[in-house]
Amino acid sequence: MSLKDIFKNMFSYKKQIENDVQQGEEVVNSNIADIYMNRELSWLKFNERVLNEAGNSKVPLAERLSFISIFQSNLDEFFRVRVGFLLDQLESDPTIRENKTNMTAEEQINEILKETRLLNLKNSVIYNQLMEELAQQGVVLINFNNLSDKEGKYLEKYFEKEIAPYLSAAIISKQQPFPFINNKDIYAVAQLESNKGKLKLAVVPCSKNVFPRLIAIPSREGTFMLSEELILHFIPKIFKNYKVKEKSLIRVLRSADIDTENHYDDYLEYREMMEKLIKQRKRMSPVKLEYSRELSKQMVNTLCKEIHVKKEHVFQPISQIPLDLSFVSSIQNYFKDMNERQLFYERRSPRMTSQLDNTKRIMPQILEKDVLLAYPFESINPFIRLLREAANDPSVVSIKMTLYRLADRSKIIDALIEAAENGKEVVVLVELRARFDEEHNIEYSRKLEEAGCRVIYGLKGFKVHSKICLISRKTENGISYITQIGTGNYNEKTSALYTDLSLITADQAIGTEVAGVFSALLFGEKVEESNLLLVAPKCLQNKVIQMIDEEIEHVKNGEEGYIGIKINSLSDKDIIDKLIEASQAGVKIEMIVRGICCLIPGVEGYTDNIKVISIVGRFLEHSRIYRFGTKDREKVYISSADFMTRNTIHRVEVAAPVLDDNLKERLDWMFETMLEDDEKGKILTNRGVYEDRNLHEPKINSQELFYEKAYQNAEQSKSAYH
C-alpha cells in the first residue's frame, strides 16, 4: 500500500467516525456538559503525542526510532492492562458506567478499537517515512522482492543452517492440538494443502533467542532482514509435502489484569502467592490479535477460534509494518558502532548538584540545609552516597525505605545490604504488585532478607507507591532524622531518563511524620491524620480539595487565587469537579499534565480559568508538583501521587511540603518555564485536542534549558568549592 493510499484510508476512516457521531450512532453522555474526557481515550491521545515525536523532523533520526518503538510498547501495555480490565468488567457487569463520560465498558472498548485503528494508520505512515530516511543513511530493512539471486541463495543456506534446526513447527490435527500462543511472541501460520487436497493449519514459533532478530546481508553494508520474515518466506521448505495456500505472521497480546486481592490465598506466603499469579498472567485471555499479511476470512475465523480472541480485536496488516518494533534498538546500535553521532541527541549526562560540596560528606551538609535534586539534570549519586554514609555511620541506628521499581544491579540495594551487614536495622517495604516488575522485586526481596534486612510487603488492598526513605540517628539530643521524599523510583537507570524530584531534609517535623508512615505500614494500617505531609489514602485527596477550597475563599474575599499542578495523569472526579468549581469562582489554574487528562479546559462557564499543557520530549516527564496560593502565601509540594483515584484513595502515597524558600523559588521557576515550553509543550483546547504553540522565537525547550542550567551550575560550583 502506498503512502498516498494510507493517507486516503486515514481520512476516509476519520470521516466515517465523524459521520457516525453526527448521526448519533456513537453519541453517549449527551446530557453532560463537554468538560470531561474519557480516561482511556485521553490516554490514546497521549500515545499519539509520543507517535508524533517519531514523525517530528526536528528530532534526530535514531531517536525517532525510539519514539515509534515506545508508541508500540505503550499501546501493548494499554491493551493488556486497560482493555483487559474493561473486558473483565464487561463480563462481570456490563451495566457499569464510567463516572465522567457515562460510557459503559462496551462503549469504551468500541471507541478504543476505532481510535487504535486510526492510530495504526498514522503509525504506518510514520514508519514508512522513517524507513525511507534510514535508507538515505545507508540502512535498509529488505524483503525477498529486492534481493539478487545470489543473496537469495545465501539466505536460503543461512535459513537451513542457522534457523531451521531450532524451529518447532506443528501441523494441527486431533493428535496435535493448536499450541498455546505466548504473549507478544511472533508466530508464522500457514494454510497447507496435502496431496489429497485436504487443508491443514500449520504454526511455527519465530521468537527464539538462538538466532538474531536482524539478519545482515553480507553483500550490502547496512542491509538487514527480519528473522521472522525469513522464516515466513521459507515455510515451503519446512512443510515440503504440502502446498502453501496462504501464510502470515501473527502476534497475540494477553490480558495482564490480575487481581491480587480476589486471588488471595491464605495458605500461601504472600511472595509465593505473587509468584503463582505471575505464572497465571502468562496464560490469561487474549485481548488483541495482529497479523502481517492478507488472510482469507476463513483463515482469520479459524485463528480467532483457536486463540479464543474476539473478531473485533483482530488487527489486519497496514503497509506490512513489522508486528514488533523492538528491533530498532539494534539499528541504533549499528549507528553508534558507525559513530553516526549526528543521528542522536546531543550527549547529556546528569551533573553533580551545585547545592552540595562533592568533596565532603553528604550527611553533615544535609543537617545544615535542605537539598532538592532534579533528575535527570542532576545526578542521583548524592542520595546513594548518603545511604552509604548512613550504612557506616556509628550514629545511624536504622534505615527505612519503600521500594517500587529498581534498576538491575541496584546500588540502592547494595547500600541497604551493607547497612544491614554493619548491624543497622534496615526495614524495607518492597511492593510486589508493581506491574511487570513483580518478578524483579521478588528477587530483590529475597536478596534483602538473606542479608538480614526486614522485608514487608505493604497493605492488603493498597499498593505502596510512596517514595520515602528515613535515616534515624541517635544523638546527644535524642533521635534525629534525615528524610528523603521523591516523586520517582529509586532506580539509577530511570533517574537518567525520567524527570523527577528528590527532597532530602533534616527537618525533624517532616522526619517524625515519615516515621509515623512507616509505623503504620509495619502495623498494616493506614495513616489517619497528618500535619505537614499529604498521605494517601486518608490524607491526600481531602487535603488537596481543602486547599482548593481555600483558594476559592480567597477569590470570594476579593483576593487572587492560584493553583498550579504538574502531574502525569488527571482522572480523579472529586478533584476535577473541585477544580471546575474553583475555575467558576475565578481561581487561576495552570496544569502541566503529561498523559491522561479527563478535564477539558477553556469551556465557557465551566473551565474558563483552567489552562492545560502536555510536555512529551526527550525525557519522560514524571515529577509531580502541587502549588497552592499566590507568591506571598504559596504552599509547594512534591509528590509521588498523580490525581487519579487509584493514587489518591487506593494507594499509599506521600506528598511533602518544600519549606526552604530557595527551593520553593527553584520549583516555581521550573514550573513556569515548563508552562512556557512551546517546543515540546502542546496546549489542550476546549475541543479536546492538543495543539502546537508559538510563544517564543526561538522556541523554548524546557528540558534542554534545565540541562543547560545544570551544566552551568556544576561548573560554577566546581570553581567555588575548589
| DSSP conformation class of 66 | H
Nearest residue to 288 via CA among 322, 325, 255 = 255
**How many helices (H) and strands (E) would you count in the chain?**
21, 27
- Reported as type and span, the H/E element at residue 224 is strand 223-226
- Compute CA distances 614 → 56, 462, 642, 671, 678, whole Å: 16, 29, 14, 12, 10
Residue 434, Cβ neighbours under 10 Å: how many?
18
**In this structure, what are the phi and psi dihedrals at residue 366, rounded to the nearest 5 degrees?**
-70, -35
Q: How far apart are CA 655 and CA 535, in angstroms?
A: 7
Q: How far apart are CA 127 and CA 142, in angstroms?
A: 14
3-state secondary structure of 686: coil
105's grid cell: 465498558
Q: Are 36 and 576 in contact (CB under 8 A)?
A: yes
Q: Is 528 exposed, middle or buried (0-12, 13-18, 19+ CB in 10 A)?
A: exposed
21's grid cell: 457521531
How many CA atoms within 13 Å lie on the side-chain side of 253? 26
Strand-pair partners of 199:
193
For the question of residue 440 being annotated catalytic, the response is no
Q: How far apart are CA 54 and CA 256, in angstroms?
A: 27
Q: Are 274 and 260 in contact (CB under 8 A)?
A: yes
Chain center to CA of 487: 14
- Beta strand residue intervals within 279-424, DSSP E: 286-291, 314-315, 371-375, 396-403
Q: Scanning the structure block, which residue is given the C-alpha cell 533521635?
A: 479
Q: Scanning the structure block, which residue is given the C-alpha cell 479464543?
A: 308
Nearest residue to 574 via CA among 563, 584, 582 = 582
402's grid cell: 519503600
Q: Are 577 and 23 in contact (CB under 8 A)?
A: no
Q: Is cis: bond before 376, omega within 30 of 0?
A: yes
* Amino acid in position 527: V
Q: Are 505 and 483 in contact (CB under 8 A)?
A: yes
Chain center to CA of 79: 13
186's grid cell: 511472533
- Compute CA distances 137 → 62, 74, 130, 218, 331, whole Å: 10, 27, 11, 17, 11
348's grid cell: 547529556
Out of 233, 263, 440, 465, which one is annotated catalytic? 465
**In this structure, what are the phi and psi dihedrals at residue 17, rounded to the nearest 5 degrees?**
-65, -45
SS3 content of the chain, % helix, strand, coil (to 5): 40, 20, 35
Q: Scanning the structure block, which residue is given the C-alpha cell 520474515?
A: 229
Q: How far apart are CA 573 and CA 49, in angstroms?
A: 24
335's grid cell: 549507528
**In this structure, what are the phi and psi dihedrals at residue 323, rounded to the nearest 5 degrees?**
-75, -20
Q: Is 468 exposed, middle or buried (0-12, 13-18, 19+ CB in 10 A)?
A: buried
Q: How far apart are CA 536 and CA 548, in angstroms?
A: 17
Q: Are 674 and 559 in contact (CB under 8 A)?
A: no
Nearest residue to 492 via CA among 632, 383, 380 = 380
Find the DSSP H helices in 557-640.
Answer: 573-585
Query: Which residues are catalytically annotated?
Result: 465
